[in-house]
Amino acid sequence: MGIESVNDIIVGIDLGTTNSEVAIFENGQTRVLTDQQGERILPSFVGITDAGALLVGRPALNQYVANPERTIKSIKRRMGEATRISLGKNSYSPSEISAMILRQLRDTAEAALGQPVRKAVITVPAYFSDAQRQATREAGEIAGLEVMRIINEPTAAALAYEAGHRGSRRVLVYDLGGGTFDVSVVRIEDDVVEVVSSHGNNHLGGDDFDQKIVAHLLDHLKQQGVQVPTTSSAMARIIRCAEAAKRQLSDHVEVQIDEEYLLEYKGRPVHLSLELSRRDYEEMIQPYIDETMAAVHTALNGANMTVAAIDEILLVGGSTRTPMVRERLQEVFGLIPRGEIDPDLCVAMGAAIHAGVMGGSKAAAVLVDVTPYTFGIGVVGMLDGDIRPGVLSPIIRKNTSVPVSRSEIYMTMIDGQERVGIDVYQGEHPDVSYDVQIGSFTVEGLSDVPAGNEIVVQFDLNLDGMLQVTAREKSTGLAKQVTIDNAMTQQEGGKRDVSQSRDQVAALFGQSNKRGTEDNRADSGGSAGTPPRIEVQFETDSVAQQAAALVTKARRLLDQATEADRIEIVDLIDAIQSLLEKGDTDSAALQKPCDQLADILFYLET
Amino acid sequence: MNPFDVLGLTAEANDAEIRKAYLVRVKEFSPEQHPERFKEIRAAFEAISDQRRRIAYSLFGKETADFPTLLLAVLRREQPHPQPVTKKDWLDLLSSSMKEARFEVPGER
């Protein structure tokens, strides 16, 4: 019988583009948890075997070359997008794929700790948008984790470094991961870790470096008249050897790339063989490095600091092993970047420290973080010498400490104005059409007074990046409030049920666990013995679930339908219901009425 | 509430003393455990963290909320179209005009 712990443990998770880790804080120390193979790093890869079993981590990475079309890498780069990614016979949202990685980490933690794990602090790049953060939170929920807090990666890293250091310093955290880049200026003083400013790019990382080498290798092959198909195992091998070359170039000035029998082209075998020097490689990635250095200066400006004010540089993320990164930073700051904590692990360790603080552990530092974006409303204002609508009036500015409440007073424009529209934006551009609109509402029933009626707009931004907006007529107190929690509603087709995704992911894990035990009982000869029945079961389950969701939606929209549509919808609902009740989950039979219903609903919604 | 009171200081406190008092209180009332108290402490710190802000505070105090209304009325007479003006715009305007006038502040470089 298992032991139920009274204290719910909170784990810290670094959900990375390339690698992910899970750590805990215990007895004043952080510990990165290892899986049964003793590995601390879980490659952020998800795949499906021929037989339909789920693979997460190293096994998925290993099958990548053989089965690139059934393997997903770097899902973090898609977080927050309203897209479906096909994997095997099904398709999943980026949150669902990330949930599979989180679920694996949760299993690792449960096995390592010998107790259930239900709570986590998860890190995201500081420059992640609200939608990306929300997608990450959703991934945690799908994986069966209560996400206690989302914290920023560079901040987590600073926490990990801070543990056990004294004194007051200003630190630049340079975090270059597999897919994202962040830079933060952090002030560490009297055990308070205070982020002063941060900046970054959500689509810049080691993956881009790989792509440059890949393009170089493809060019080389092209010169020999060889075209490599985009989704082939030859392409996957090229990507893999580009990655390997990149790593070697961190320690060597030159690398020999050899891939024999890469593919057969027009009946002859093609071998890839060439040398790549660090110098040539650095020329390829220079534009990216330049971009990161520009961001470093933006962050310094945001902090009102000069290069000379920085006492230390911390390197985070595997891509900071690139010698050019260190050289450039050293050149600009005249400091040797610190790297005594493994750049792959320090984010998870920092997340664990914060989890420890949340769980009530004494020790460790207090964290004060900032918002990386400006939030404001669109107003009539002056832009480029013209008075026009759609001008951003910032209420909470970039690099403001969170949590924070700010309010501004605005005036109505016309006499007897009855209503005022509040459009909420995230972004830095004075013209709102360049910013991201994250919400909108109207306050109606204002007093009949001359123009200049005062409207107080208050923004409350909490630690999770959730924004509450209140607009109030000052004279009467008439108010309207919205909470902007936008990512979920921005998903195409409306909010997807998290519990449904959770069951789906849990089902996949059930499958792979079954496979695991079978393999253990016999020999670990591979996945060939997986019973295909489970896959079929899962397929129909998923169609049945989709059908049920569709019926719910149809009922909701019934009121809006014309009489003719109504009859058709009701008939289709009945048809689907009776199939579901009979347990007739033959997917083809169910699919047809579902498709018809979906078509009608699509019309209704548009 | 008076920011000096929030931080437990007198109006004569200097930058270093204000920062120190802020840090002590943040450790006691962290954003994680006491978000509302933290907001108050942080707002107080930002209101008086440097000389320029302390001058603005001493000029307008906590009554600043009504200040833009007052000045907007003045502005309206000179501009053909009314436009939203925030308190911060006025403070920025004021501080830049102070700089232009080479407003000398005792103790500042």
Q: Is A452 within 8 Å of B27 when comparing Cβ atoms? A: no
Residue type at A590 in one-letter notation: L
Of chain B, the percentage scoring pLDDT greater than 70 comes to 50
Q: How confident is the model at residue A173 (pLDDT cuts 50, 70, 90)?
A: very high
Tokens of B106: 């005792």
The whole-angstrom separation of Cα A50 and Cα A532 is: 10
Question: With an 8 Å Cβ cutoff, is A405 touching chain B?
Answer: yes
Q: How confident is the model at residue A136 (pLDDT cuts 50, 70, 90)?
A: very high
The whole-angstrom separation of Cα A427 and Cα A412 is: 24
- How close does chain A come to B12, measured CA to CA in Å? 23
Residue type at A315 in one-letter notation: L
- How close does chain A come to B84, measured CA to CA in Å? 6
- How close does chain B come to A329, measured CA to CA in Å? 30
Question: With an 8 Å Cβ cutoff, is A404 touching chain B?
Answer: yes
Q: What is the pLDDT of residue A538?
A: 33
**Residue A409 three-state SS:** strand
Sign of the C-alpha dihedral computed for residues A5, A6, A8 and A9 taken in this order: negative
Question: With an 8 Å Cβ cutoff, is A151 touching chain B?
Answer: no
Q: What is the pLDDT of residue B88?
A: 63
Picking from A149, A387, A463, the nearest residue to B81 by CB comes out as: A387
Question: With an 8 Å Cβ cutoff, is B62 touching chain A?
Answer: no
- How close does chain A come to B103, measured CA to CA in Å? 22
Q: How confident is the model at residue A530 (pLDDT cuts 50, 70, 90)?
A: very low
Portion 335-354 of A in contact with B at CB < 8 A: 354
Rounded to an integer, the average pLDDT of A278-299 is 96
Q: Is B23 within 8 Å of A192 when comparing Cβ atoms? A: yes
Rounded to an integer, the average pLDDT of B32-36 is 88
> Which is more confident, A27 or A303?
A303
Q: Is B84 within 8 Å of A190 when comparing Cβ atoms? A: no
Q: Is B84 within 8 Å of A393 when comparing Cβ atoms? A: yes
Question: With an 8 Å Cβ cutoff, is A466 touching chain B?
Answer: no
Which residues on adjacent β-strands are paired with residue A34?
A: none
β-strands A254-265, A29-32: how paired?
unpaired
Rounded to an integer, the average pLDDT of A196-204 is 90
Q: How confident is the model at residue A597 (pLDDT cuts 50, 70, 90)?
A: confident
Tell me: pLDDT of A364 over 80.
Answer: no
- How close does chain A come to B91, measured CA to CA in Å? 13
Q: Is B82 within 8 Å of A408 when comparing Cβ atoms? A: no
Picking from B23, B65, B82, the nearest residue to A189 by CB comes out as: B23
Task: Compute the 3-state secondary structure of chain B and give helix, strand, coil in percent, each to the nearest 5.
Answer: 70, 0, 30
Picking from A190, A369, A463, the nearest residue to B23 by CB comes out as: A190
Q: Is A408 within 8 Å of B31 when comparing Cβ atoms? A: no
Q: Which residues of B fall within a CB distance of 8 Å from A368?
A: 26, 31, 38, 42
| Residue A600 burial (10 A CB sphere; 0-12, 13-18, 19+) | middle
Cβ–Cβ pairs < 8 A, chains A and B: 72
**Residue A391 three-state SS:** strand
> Which is more confident, B45 or B93?
B45
Of chain B, the percentage scoring pLDDT greater than 90 comes to 24
Picking from A190, A366, A387, the nearest residue to B30 by CB comes out as: A366
CA distance to A245, A526, A535, per residue, from A255 (Å): 6, 34, 44
Picking from B20, B82, B86, the nearest residue to A409 by CB comes out as: B86
Phi/psi for A186 (5° steps) reads -125, 135
A79-108 pLDDT tens trace: 988 889 988 888 899 999 999 999 999 999
Q: What is the pLDDT of residue A550?
A: 78
Using CA coordinates, name the residue in chain B closest to A187: B23
**Model-level ipTM above the cut of 0.85:** no
The whole-angstrom separation of Cα A42 and Cα A419 is: 54
Question: Is A399 within 8 Å of A368 (Cβ atoms)?
Answer: no
pTM of the model: 0.75
Q: What is the pLDDT of residue A124?
A: 94
A387-405 pLDDT tens trace: 888 899 999 999 999 999 9
Q: What is the pLDDT of residue A162?
A: 76
Q: Which residues of B fall within a CB distance of 8 Å from A387?
A: 81, 83
Q: How confident is the model at residue A585 (pLDDT cuts 50, 70, 90)?
A: low
Q: What is the pLDDT of residue B102?
A: 43
Question: With an 8 Å Cβ cutoff, is B65 touching chain A?
Answer: yes
Question: With an 8 Å Cβ cutoff, is A414 touching chain B?
Answer: no
